[in-house]
């Protein structure tokens, strides 16, 4: 077999899902005459009287926010899941299967400040966000009928955020989401076949190589996964084998806050503009099975930007009909992020 050439088209396996990504390094210099996104909006105020998430303001659903001074969590006024949904299923034909999906949705405002994303929150406030995530996870998993709790954030209009006030969401569903099903299966198979946690083994390999590590501290490592699909996609892993976010001890919560602030600052510093992304935690399902011992808590960050703050990566054509594809290798993307300062560009000086 001929030697492998990483500078030529090749594909890489995602062991978390069992799916492949096509890598085409020779395409990085192709000309771009496609869609260009609007430039980032001007600086935001600390409080916006028209924002339905700012303290004291009326929300879109009619309720009024309290004058909150830290994180503020409330039931989504326009939820995708409804707790009162009665159980039931419809199977008029094996190919036409449907079933009820009860659940509930929460919104978490990170702070009263309309203008401070995770990258610029004071560390104490960011530690409060991590604490709120853990408390909400524990409380929602304890509710009857809840099969999974998904914590996530969509930052920026490019990712579908309906409001610029920094906030995240928490959806608690009766069933397991598709991505969690795939990751659960692959991690269980790896544990059974190799006798080791998949992500513990990956962390040891990536820490030794170092070429895809972006930043790290005593408790967490952020890296470009070898199989990344999005140009500057990152994976955040706790060094200790943990199954769930609420298993973090006090020191680990603080280290997660520090790493999140550093990583998201590097994102913004890349193009010196607000960097859109979807962020989400994947942890062991509540009341898991013995095979879930191999489920390692992790955080995905999926940012769409490719060449600048106004040129994004699209998942279309071959990506939708065949296999996800990327031009920029994970190694070069990691090197670019690693070379950036950890302090946010707006806080310089």
Establish if 287 belongs to a structural domain. Answer: yes
| 300 counts as catalytic | no
Are 319 and 224 contacting, i.e. CB atoms less than 8 angstroms apart? no
Q: Is 27 part of any domain?
A: no
Is residue 25 situated within a structural domain?
A: no
Q: Given the DSSP bridges, would you call strands 325-326 and 19-23 parallel, antiparallel or unpaired? A: parallel
Identify the H or E element spanning 129. helix 123-141
Angle between helices 330-338 and 250-271 (to 10 degrees): 100
Domain membership flag for residue 234: yes
Q: What is the pTM of this model?
A: 0.95
Domain that holds residue 230: 44-85+99-342
Closest C-alpha to 332, from 212, 206, 210, 205:
212
Cα 92 to chain centroid distance, Å, stands at 37
Q: Count the domains in the chain.
A: 1
Q: Please report the pLDDT score of residue 287 as a whole number.
A: 85
Q: Residue 35 domain-assigned?
A: no
For residue 245, the tally of other CB atoms under 10 A from its CB is: 24
> DSSP for 16-78?
TTTEEEEE-GGGTT----S--PPPPPPPPPS--TT-TTSTTPBPTTS-B----SS-EEEE-SS
Which pairing describes strands 213-216 and 220-223: parallel, antiparallel, or unpaired?
antiparallel
Residue 348 pLDDT: 82
φ/ψ bin of 210: left (φ > 0), alpha (ψ from -120 to 50), beta (otherwise): left
User: 3-class SS at 243?
Assistant: coil
Q: What residues have CB less than 8 Å from 243, skipping those under 6 apart? A: 283, 284, 288, 292, 293, 295, 296, 297
Choice among 114, 165, 167, 296 that is catalytic:
167
Closest alpha carbon to 35 in 310, 274, 325 = 310
> For residue 221, what is the domain's CATH number?
3.30.428.10
The conformational region for residue 333 under phi > 0 = left, psi -120 to 50 = alpha, else beta, is: alpha
- 56 in the Ramachandran plot: left (φ > 0), alpha (ψ -120 to 50) or beta? left
Residue indicated by tokens 């099969």: 147
Indicate whether 302 belongs to any domain.
yes
What string of pLDDT tens digits covers the 349 residues of the chain?
667 788 889 999 999 999 999 999 887 676 655 666 666 667 899 999 999 999 999 999 999 999 999 999 999 999 999 998 988 888 889 999 999 999 999 999 999 999 999 999 999 999 999 999 999 999 999 999 999 999 999 999 999 998 999 999 999 999 999 999 999 999 999 999 999 999 999 999 999 999 999 999 999 999 999 999 999 999 999 999 999 999 999 999 999 999 999 999 999 999 999 999 999 999 999 987 888 999 999 999 999 999 899 889 999 999 999 999 999 999 999 999 999 999 999 998 6
Q: Quick check: helix, strand or coil at residue 9? A: coil
Examine residue 253 and state whether it is found in any structural domain, yes or no: yes
Instruction: Identify whether 50 is part of a domain.
Output: yes
CB 55 within 8 A of CB 68: yes
Confidence (pLDDT) at 26: 82
236 vs 261: CA distance, rounded Å: 12
pLDDT at 288: 75
């Amino acid at each position: 077999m001929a030697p492998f050439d990483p500078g030529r088209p090749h594909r890489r396996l995602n062991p978390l899902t069992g799916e492949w990504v096509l890598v085409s390094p020779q395409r990085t210099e192709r000309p771009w005459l496609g869609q260009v996104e609007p430039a980032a909006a001007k600086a935001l105020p600390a409080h916006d009287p028209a924002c339905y998430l700012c303290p004291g303001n009326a929300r879109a659903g009619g309720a009024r926010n309290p004058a909150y001074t830290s994180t503020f969590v409330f039931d989504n006024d326009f939820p995708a899941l409804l707790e009162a949904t009665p159980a039931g299923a419809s199977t008029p034909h094996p190919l036409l299967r449907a079933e009820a999906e009860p659940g509930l949705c929460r919104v978490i405002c990170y702070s009263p400040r309309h203008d401070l994303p995770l990258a610029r929150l004071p560390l104490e406030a960011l530690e409060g966000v991590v604490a709120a995530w853990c408390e909400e996870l524990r409380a929602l998993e304890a509710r009857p009928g809840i099969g999974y709790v998904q914590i996530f954030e969509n930052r920026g209009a490019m990712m579908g955020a309906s409001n610029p006030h920094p906030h995240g969401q928490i959806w608690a569903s009766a069933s397991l989401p598709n991505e969690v099903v795939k990751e659960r299966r692959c991690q269980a198979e790896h544990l059974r076949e190799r006798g080791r946690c998949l992500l513990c083994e990956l962390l040891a390999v990536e820490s030794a190589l170092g070429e895809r590590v972006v930043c790290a501290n005593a408790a967490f490592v952020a890296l470009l996964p070898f199989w990344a699909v999005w140009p500057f996609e990152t994976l955040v892993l706790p060094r200790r084998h943990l199954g769930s976010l609420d298993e973090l001890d006090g020191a680990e919560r603080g280290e997660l806050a520090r790493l999140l602030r550093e990583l998201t600052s590097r994102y913004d510093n890349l193009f010196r503009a607000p960097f859109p992304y979807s962020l989400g935690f994947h942890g062991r399902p509540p009341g898991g099975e013995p095979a879930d011992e191999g489920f390692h808590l992790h955080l995905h960050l999926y940012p769409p930007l490719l060449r600048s703050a106004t040129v994004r990566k699209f998942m279309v054509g071959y990506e939708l009909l065949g296999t996800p594809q990327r031009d920029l290798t994970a190694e070069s993307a990691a090197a670019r992020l690693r070379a950036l300062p950890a302090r946010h560009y707006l806080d310089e000086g």
